[in-house]
Amino acid sequence: MSMNRREFIKIAGLSTLFGLGGKGAFELLRPGTLDAAVHHGEEHAPEEPAEAAIRWGMVIDVEKCSEPGVVDKCIKACHSTHNIPDFGNSKNQVKWLWRDDYEHTFAGNENEYMDDHVKELPFLCLCNHCDEPPCVRVCPTKATFKRPDGVVAMDYHRCIGCRFCMAACPYGSRSFNWFDPRKALNEKEFNMEFPTRMRGVVEKCNFCVERLAQDKLPACVEAAPQALFFGNLADPDSNVRQILRKRSSMRRKLELGTKPSVFYLV
C-alpha cells in the first residue's frame, strides 16, 4: 500500500480527532456505556456503614503483664494456636505477638522524667488493627484488607510477597516468610485446626478471626484474662470501653493517624 504525505496527514488528523472526541461521542450517543465497567467495580466494594455494630479492640494492662510468666504464656498460646515457626534468630523471626520495651514501643513519645519502673515493663506488641491501616492501602493485590468489624485480615492465597505492607506498617507487625515455616515447626505440635503459611508470603496477627467466628476470645486474651481485655469498641457499655473510661491509656504512634485499636494501660 502506498500513501502520500497528504493522505497520511489526513488519516492521522482524523484518528486524533476521534481519539480526543471519541469518549464525548459515546457519551452523546449512548450515555453511560463507557462508565459501566468502572461503576460496576465500585458496587461490589464493601460499603462501610457510618456506625459499625462491631469494632474489635484490645486493652493491655502492662502492669499486670509484668507479673512473672504472663507475657510468655500469651506468646506461647498465640504461637501454638497459629503454627508460628521459631527460626531462632531475629532476622527470620515471624512476629504475631512479641514483647518489647517502653522505649521502642513508644518511640518518639518517651518521657525522660518517667519512672524507671515503666521503662522496664514488658510491652506486648501485636498488629494494631488500625482504623486507617496503611498496609491495606499499599497492598497491590488486596491480599490484606480491613473487615467491617475492624480486623485487618490477610488472604495468604493472594499474597505475592512484595512486602509493600511491611514497609508501610509503622509498628513492624508484619513478617516475611523467608523460609518454609514448616522447617522450623515440630510436626507433632501442629495445631491441626489452623494452617501454616508458605515460603514467600507476609504474615501477621489476625486478631484470632478464626476463634472470633466460633465466639471464642483471642488465644492471648484467653491465656491471660487478668492482663488482656478484648471487646467491642463500638459498644459504649462493652468491657473495653468501660476500662478505657476509667483509666488513661496510650496508643502507639498516634501522630501517624493510623488510629490503632490496641490500647496500653500503664
Partner 1 sequence: MYDAWKILVGLAIFVALFTAAFWMNAGKAAPVPEPKIDTPEIKKMAKAERKCVEDKHFMRTTHMQLINHWRDQALRDGNRDYINKDGKKYYISLQNTCMKCHSNKKDFCDKCHDYTGVSPYCWDCHIAPKEEPKRNEL
**The C-alpha cell that represents 254 in the structure block:** 498516634
Copy the grid coordinates of residue 166: 511491611
56-61 vs 262-265, strand pairing mode: parallel
Strand partners, 176: 202
Is 142 buried (19+), middle (13-18) or exposed (0-12) by CB count in 10 A?
exposed
SS3 157: coil
Residue count (the chain): 266
Question: Toward partner 1, which CB reaches closer, 81 or 105?
Answer: 81
Nearer to partner 1, 65 or 154 (CB): 154
H/E stretch holding 134 reads helix 134-138
Strands (E) located in 6-132: 56-61, 97-100, 123-126
Question: CA–CA separation, 48 vs 46, rounded Å?
Answer: 6
42 vs 193, beta carbon nearer partner 1: 193
CB 213, min distance to partner 1, A: 5
Residue position matching grid coordinates 508501610: 168
* CA separation, residue 101 to residues 15, 95, 121, 222 (Å): 65, 15, 7, 23
**Residue 146 CB, nearest distance to partner 1 (Å)?**
11
**Interface residues toward partner 1, by CB under 8 A:** 83, 145, 147-149, 153, 155-157, 190, 192-198, 209, 213
Nearer CB in complex with partner 1: 30/157:
157
Is 37 exposed, middle or buried, given 0-12, 13-18 or 19+ CB atoms closer than 10 A? Answer: exposed
29 or 213: CB nearest partner 1: 213
Least distance in angstroms from the C-beta of 24 to partner 1? 38
CB of 82 to partner 1, least distance (A): 12
Nearest distance in Å: CB 254, partner 1: 28
CA 123, CA 103: separation in Å to the nearest integer? 10
Residue 134 or 181 with smaller CB distance to partner 1:
181
CB of residue 202 to partner 1, shortest distance in Å: 13
Residue with Cβ nearer partner 1 (141 or 226): 141
Shortest distance, position 78 Cβ to partner 1, whole Å: 18
